[in-house]
Amino acid sequence: MSDSPAPNRNTLWARTLVEELDAAGVEAVCIAPGSRSTPLTVAFAEHPEIRVFSHLDERSAAFFALGRAKRTGKPTPLVCTSGTAAANFHPAVIEASQSRVPMLVLTADRPPELRDSGANQTIDQQKLYGDSVRWYADLPEPEPEGRKLRSLRTTAARALSESTGTPPGPVHLNVPFRKPLEPVEVPGDVPESLADEAPLGAAGRTESDGSRRPFVRTAQGRPELAESEMEAVREAVESADRGLLVAGPADAPSPEREALADFAAATGFPILADPLSGHRFGHAGETPVLGGYDGYLESVGESWPDPDLVVRFGASPTSKVLRRYLEASDARQFLVDPAGGWREATFTATDLLAADPTRFARRIASGLDSSGSEGSGSDESGGESPETASWRERFAAAEEDYWRVVESAREERLFEGGVLSAVAEDAPDPATVMVSNSMPVRDLDRFGRPRAADLTVLGNRGASGIDGITSTGLGAGSATDDPLVLVTGDLAYYHDMNGLLAVARCGVDATVVEINNDGGGIFHMLPIEEFDPPFTEQFRTPHGLDYEPTGDLYGLDFERVADLESFRSAFEASVESAGTQVIEVATDAERSHRFREEVGDRVAERLE
Amino acid sequence: MSDSPAPNRNTLWARTLVEELDAAGVEAVCIAPGSRSTPLTVAFAEHPEIRVFSHLDERSAAFFALGRAKRTGKPTPLVCTSGTAAANFHPAVIEASQSRVPMLVLTADRPPELRDSGANQTIDQQKLYGDSVRWYADLPEPEPEGRKLRSLRTTAARALSESTGTPPGPVHLNVPFRKPLEPVEVPGDVPESLADEAPLGAAGRTESDGSRRPFVRTAQGRPELAESEMEAVREAVESADRGLLVAGPADAPSPEREALADFAAATGFPILADPLSGHRFGHAGETPVLGGYDGYLESVGESWPDPDLVVRFGASPTSKVLRRYLEASDARQFLVDPAGGWREATFTATDLLAADPTRFARRIASGLDSSGSEGSGSDESGGESPETASWRERFAAAEEDYWRVVESAREERLFEGGVLSAVAEDAPDPATVMVSNSMPVRDLDRFGRPRAADLTVLGNRGASGIDGITSTGLGAGSATDDPLVLVTGDLAYYHDMNGLLAVARCGVDATVVEINNDGGGIFHMLPIEEFDPPFTEQFRTPHGLDYEPTGDLYGLDFERVADLESFRSAFEASVESAGTQVIEVATDAERSHRFREEVGDRVAERLE
């Protein structure tokens, strides 16, 4: 931040806003170039502590910011000019809202008198994202006035607080500016007396050592149940013999890994861990993490007893098999959600607990440890009944069988599931792994074996779009030094091809696994496959694109592999090297689907 | 449309909707693949009369539909699945709203009980586009019931009517479907008795020859002034000596060319024709069409008398020089707008006339012809005063001088204005010419000399984004057999690169002129140029992309030219040949901008 006096009110205004964002912990910003946003862009660019990621396509910029926030838990503000630029943020804003990712959108706007006046590049930006934002504010016109500047500083703190609240999500500040937009000297525009007359508004707050502190420090409480409510839950847990802990999608493990492991240890209940839950990977071996359920639950449904209690965390699981399994049981089902969201579309849950998941899990675990009849805090399976032990072992045995089938099947022929199986096994520890909708996340769900490796697996499952997969991955990759693995399909690769520009412009290295089945392979899983036409032309939509030129266009190494072995060696080489490599695996969607079904049949046979 | 009975209610519902759209004149549809939209996709695909354009990126799909509608005046419906797909339409929806282009968005949705339930790919699609649509309706759940089917047929008619009303614009129908989405037989779902019990709902209406007719035929009146109001305008026109007719942007000439020519003939007033007005090109030589004003009005402002009357049509002119010129005069300024829009952001207009421009122009012209003192209907300049004649000749002389300067300057060195000058001169007759924001449209404004050739020049000046230029152009090109010329910049080319897929998938041939100045050349026109950093990194944003690989990627011929002569021969070869050619003209934005200013200086000298 420049120490020189602001040459005009717009510079002052934008610097003040940026100063507060920095004070509140913002470390980076995504900026798409434009004229109206000049004061913001200049203020961010001249700030020494804030890293600027410059993007040319606002849609990709917003998904990049989304990815960074998924990985860091903190918003990376977005800046754009007036007009449809702001509308290009909309898909990512919706994804952020639905998947509860902090985001701060700063849209520059024309001054109020030019709205709906026919002025150029002027649209109605007010409440542009409707109900998809946690908070919206139309900032007042910049003015070097004490109360206004204090309101601006407060607004910055509030915007960040709202975006990281419960649940986190997008916040939209619409920021009008009147010319001059550049930091040109406008004599008298910012009175020299401002610092004396309105010291708080002009300078904000500093610590005693001179460093900046936020104008308003915010502390956000998180919902906790009363002890009597907890006791009721504990009783239900204790009286259950066949409990299941279901960890649905959540960008950061929720509950935290240790807390969920304690819960599992205290109850003896296995954990059904969605690939996006943060629990499929990263748990120590003794924690009963299950990952194959999508492949075998359908086969065992009849022959096994039903669960009698389910505790669900996170969003609705990716696995339709699991959702149906839960729907079919008449177990008591607790949904634990800090935001009190009713994210359970089978409508069979019996209890909604609006409570912080980590604290909830810890309180259950510690309460059971101290109150359990066995009474030993060091007894990891707490007050576990023999039936619970056999229930857990039943799952453990099914997993063993299942993974044996999968690992043998993937050697037989190249199919999409085998690629995800290999990615899960071979991804470096630690790594960030971004998986696309629609098939990669499903294949990782079914074929990604749990590992202790610290993999942060991310996906856009809020709205399950394929519109910003590459950018989300690269944004997540930009946030840490962990190697980045991006697994995408050919349609998602095409949809967000512009996002590849971030490889060079934002300096992100990645291993991009592009599974190319020339169109929408997922449609082979749907009944429309039987109706051709229009199946091929309107659903599978083969495009015939040869993506090799995208290597030249974006400065990537592009390699094609035709079998699993070459894939694995290309993958290994890539994750160990600098730069970005695209490894294209050409698959046949139909054959992959058939083989996926065949593996399912083998599993069923084996389990019978 | 299949004649077989609908196998289930979704098929019935979608067929009914498509049947009515066809009956009301819809000829094509843009579909992005997805599952939830299956009933609509199947119904459109099986309809024998409707052409399906299949797109993979919804953002490009929507701009393609926008372009078609710009060229045809009729909406090309858009179909997408549930989720963020719909949000990707948003930029084009805003552009359609602001530039008054008919559009019909059909978003498939989950059934109501799954909204906000955590169900996959389910977002809040209700009123997703806010105030940017002329009409929004959330369709009821499909049901084979007479009244519901009549409501659906009526809704189809109404949606088209609203989208082509005054002003035209986007309409959004949100269409929920519950599984099964495919045309699978569901016994009893559509009762066999439906045709007997609800014949009107089930079958709609047919003409006596058996052909379909719309369920509701709509006729839309357009606003006309009362004769007394017209008389008052005529009096003002007759008493003016130095009138100007300003034709601002409008996709189809508004008023129609003949009507405006009559108006000019009857008054003797020259026409300042925006390149996007439909009047810069296509008028016969005797009509006083001016196109160089952006280049010379600044130079003559002081030495010429002011206009005393201005009649403005269309949106606000592209030329800032013209807007300032009008703002500085104290002429009486009539805004003629059929929708009563107040599209005049200098706030100096004195009269708003909400009237159909063509009828208004005709009534002025014929009223003057018959009431003028000279009294001869064949006297093309009506009751023109000597001062009016000299006023018009003053402009004509300035034009002559101006174009001489331009045409000599463009031979001296390659600059961006020279390219647009050549495009305007060399474009085939007829042709569709799409010009991008931000510099191409400004350069065409300044350097595109009026011609009698029937050029339909289009631009996205509603919100002036660069996000969908290629798709808009290709959509416009798909609507007629006219050769398509697309003039774009390197940033717009990058932003909508996905749109190039339509060349192959939608079978559109084009001549793409890509002016590559490696970034945002327009920023050289703004004061931010003086501040570097951050000028280069955050505003001009050179990307260094080599676009040659896009030729291989999308099956285009890619050619680079380095001087005007090679450009002109490449351009000529391209417009005469099949396939799509990208002609890249590498320019230096700064030098182009300096030379643009130098040409301005020469004009000023000459006019003094």
Residue by residue, DSSP assigns A167-231 as S--EEEEEEE--S--S----TTSS-TTHHHHSHHHHH-EE-TTS-EE-SS----------HHHHH
- The one-letter code for the residue type at A516 is N
Q: pTM for the full model?
A: 0.97
Name the pLDDT band for B291 (thresholds 50, 70, 90).
Answer: very high
Amino acid, res. A245? L
* Percent of residues, chain B, with pLDDT higher than 90: 90
Alpha-helical runs (H) found in A31-135: 38-46, 58-72, 84-88, 90-99
The answer to whether A182 contacts B526, with C-beta atoms less than 8 Å apart, is: yes
- Per the CB < 8 A criterion, the answer to whether B457 and B275 are in contact is yes
Question: For B370, what's the count of Cα atoms within 13 Å in the CB-facing half-sphere?
Answer: 6
DSSP secondary-structure letter at A306?
A: P
Neighbours of B591 (CB within 10 A): 16
* pLDDT of amino acid A85: 98
pLDDT at residue B381 is higher than 70: no
B407 burial class (0-12, 13-18, 19+ CB within 10 angstroms)?
Answer: middle
**What is the spatial distance between Cα B291 and Cα B319, in angstroms, rounded to a whole number?**
10
Query: In the Cβ-directed half-sphere of B70, how many Cα atoms lie within 13 Å?
Result: 38
- Residue B568 tokens read as 């002109």
- Structural contact between residues B78 and B69, judged by C-beta atoms closer than 8 angstroms: no
Structure confidence by residue, pLDDT tens digits, B489-540:
999 999 999 999 999 999 999 999 999 999 888 888 899 999 999 999 999 8
Q: Which domains, from first to last, does chain B contain?
A: 9-213 (3.40.50.970), 227-399 (3.40.50.1220), 413-607 (3.40.50.970)
Minimum Cα–Cα distance from A491: chain B residue: B56
Any residues with CB less than 8 A from the CB of A187 and at least 6 apart, and which?
none
B255 prior amide bond cis, ω within 30: yes
List, as ranges, residues 213-242 from B with C-beta within 8 Å of A: none
B133 touching A, CB under 8 A? Answer: no
pLDDT tens digits, B190-243? 999 999 999 999 999 999 998 889 999 999 999 999 999 999 999 999 999 999
Report the run of H or E that residue B361 belongs to, with start and end: helix B357-371
Set of chain B residues whose Cβ sits within 8 Å of the Cβ of A184: 527, 530
| Cα–Cα distance, B297 to B304 (Å, whole number) | 9
Interface contact B605, partner A, CB < 8 A: no
Task: Tell me the average pLDDT of chain B.
Answer: 94
Annotate A291-316 with b (16+ C-beta within 10 A) or e (fewer): bbbbbbbbbbeeebeebbbbbbbbbb
Contact criterion met (CB below 8 Å) for A557 and A551: yes
Residue A524's pLDDT band (cuts 50, 70, 90) = confident
ipTM of the complex: 0.96
Degrees to nearest 5, angle at CA A53 with A47 and A59: 130
Q: What pLDDT is recorded for position B369?
A: 65
Q: Which of B33, B180, B184 sits opposite A539 (nearest CB)?
A: B33
Question: Using H for helix, E for strand and C for coil, what is the string for A326-350?
Answer: HHHCCCEEEEECCCCCCCCCCCCCC
Asked if B465 is an interface residue toward chain A (Cβ–Cβ < 8 A), one would say yes
- Cβ separation A498–B501 shorter than 8 A: no
Residues 6+ apart with CB under 8 A from B565: none
The percentage of residues in chain A with a pLDDT greater than 90, rounded to a whole number, is 90
- The phi, psi pair for B50, rounded to 5°, reads -105, 130
CA distance A485 to A434: 6
**Alpha helix locations (H) across B372-432?**
386-412, 416-426
Q: Which residues have a Cβ under 8 Å from the Cβ of B269 and sit 6 or more positions away?
A: B240, B243, B244, B245, B263, B288, B309, B311, B388, B392
Q: B257 vs B278, B358, B565, CA distance in Å? A: 8, 9, 33
Mean pLDDT of the A537-553 span: 94
Q: Which pLDDT tens digit goes with each residue over A367-404?
A: 986 544 443 434 444 568 999 999 999 999 999 999 99
pLDDT of residue A371: 46
How many CB atoms sit inside 10 A of residue A453's CB?
15
Can you give the pLDDT at residue B522?
83
Residue B2's pLDDT is 56
Q: With pLDDT > 70 as the criterion, what percentage of chain A qualifies?
A: 97
Please state, in angstroms and rounded to a whole number, the distance separating the CA atoms of residues A479 and A468.
17
pLDDT tens digits, A139-190: 999 999 999 999 999 999 999 999 999 999 999 999 999 999 999 999 999 9
- A-to-B residue pairs, Cβ atoms closer than 8 angstroms: 254
User: Does the structure show a pLDDT above 90 at A521?
Assistant: no
What tens digit of pLDDT does each residue of A310-322 get? 999 999 999 999 9
Q: How close A87 comes to chain B (CA, Å)?
A: 5
Please check whether residue B352 touches A, CB under 8 A.
Answer: no
Kindly state the helix (H) or strand (E) to which residue A512 belongs, with its residue range. Answer: strand A511-516
d(C-alpha B513, C-alpha B584), whole Å: 6
Task: Give the Cβ contact number of residue B332 at 10 Å.
Answer: 19
User: Would you say B273 and B289 are in contact if contact means Cβ atoms under 8 Å apart?
Assistant: yes
Distance CA(A408)–CA(A427), nearest Å, equals 19
What mean pLDDT value characterizes chain A? Answer: 94
Chain B residues near residue A98 by CB distance under 8 angstroms: 123
Establish whether the linkage from the previous residue to B180 is cis, with ω within 30° of 0: yes
Within an 8 Å CB–CB cutoff, is residue A55 touching chain B? no
Chain B contact set for A464 (CB, 8 A): 83, 120-121
DSSP 8-state secondary structure symbol assigned to residue B175: E
A247, A313 contact by CB (below 8 A): yes
Residue A281 DSSP code: B
What pLDDT score was predicted for residue B260?
98
Residue of chain A whose alpha carbon sits nearest to that of B39: A528
Alpha helices in B413-541 (DSSP H): 416-426, 439-447, 469-477, 490-495, 501-505
Residue B411 predicted with pLDDT over 70: yes
Q: Model confidence over A344-360: pLDDT tens digits?
A: 999 999 999 999 999 99
Q: Which residues pair with A455 in a beta bridge?
A: A431
Q: Give B332-373 pLDDT, tens digit per residue.
A: 999 999 999 999 999 999 999 999 999 999 999 999 865 444
Q: How far is CA B284 from the centre of its chain?
A: 23
Q: According to the model, what pLDDT value does residue B373 have?
A: 42
Q: What pLDDT is attached to residue A383?
A: 62
Helix or strand holding residue A421 (H, E): helix A416-426
Contact (CB, 8 A) for A39 and A109: no
Q: Return the ∠ at Cα B593 (arms to B587 and B599), rounded to 5°.
A: 110
- Note the pLDDT tens digit of each residue in A70-93: 999 999 999 999 999 999 999 999
pLDDT of residue A2: 56
Q: B302 falls in which pLDDT band (50, 70, 90)?
A: confident
Which of A116, A123, A134, A554 to substitute to test the interface with B, most B CBs within 10 Å?
A: A123
**What mean pLDDT is predicted for residues B64-70?**
98
pLDDT at residue B210, rounded to an integer: 86
State which H helix or E strand residue B163 sits in: helix B146-163
The answer to whether the CB atoms of A463 and B83 lie below 8 A apart is yes
Buried b (16+ CB within 10 A) or exposed e, A478-496: bbeebbbbbbbbbbbbbbb
* Tokens 């003002």, located at residue: B236
Which residues in B lie closer than 8 A to residue A29 (C-beta atoms)? Answer: none
Instruction: Give the SS3 label for residue B153.
Output: helix
| pLDDT band at B384; cut points 50, 70, 90 | confident
**H or E stretch at B327:** helix B320-328
Sign of CA dihedral A502, A505, A511, A515: positive
**Can you tell me the mean pLDDT for B85-102?**
98
Q: CA of A34: which chain B residue's CA is closest?
A: B539
Helix (H), strand (E) at residue B156: helix B146-163
Whole-angstrom distance, CA of residue B202 vs CA of residue B98: 37
The confidence score (pLDDT) of residue B383 equals 62
Taking the C-alpha atoms of residue A30 and residue B34, their distance in angstroms, rounded to an integer, is 30
Angle at A413 between CA A411 and CA A414, to 5 degrees: 100
CB of A81 within 8 Å of any CB in chain B? no
CB-CB neighbours of A373 under 10 Å: 7
Determine the average pLDDT of the residues in A20-25: 97
Q: Is B592 exposed, middle or buried (0-12, 13-18, 19+ CB in 10 A)?
A: buried
| pLDDT given for residue A280 in this prediction | 98
What is the rounded average pLDDT of the residues B26-37? 97
Angstrom distances, CA of residue B304 to CA of B329, B390, B394: 11, 11, 9
Provide the total of helices (H) and of strands (E) in chain A, helices listed first. 22, 20
Q: Which of A13, A306, A431, A345 is nearest to A186 (CA)?
A: A13
Look-up: residue for tokens 């060696």? A569
Mean pLDDT confidence for B409-416: 94
Q: CA B427, CA B510: separation in Å to the nearest integer? A: 12
Rounded Cα gap, residues B508 and B122, in angstroms: 34
Q: Identify the band that residue B608 occupies on the pLDDT scale cut at 50, 70 and 90.
A: confident
Residue A254: is its pLDDT beyond 60?
A: yes
Q: Residue A444's closest CA among A462, A427, A428, A467?
A: A427
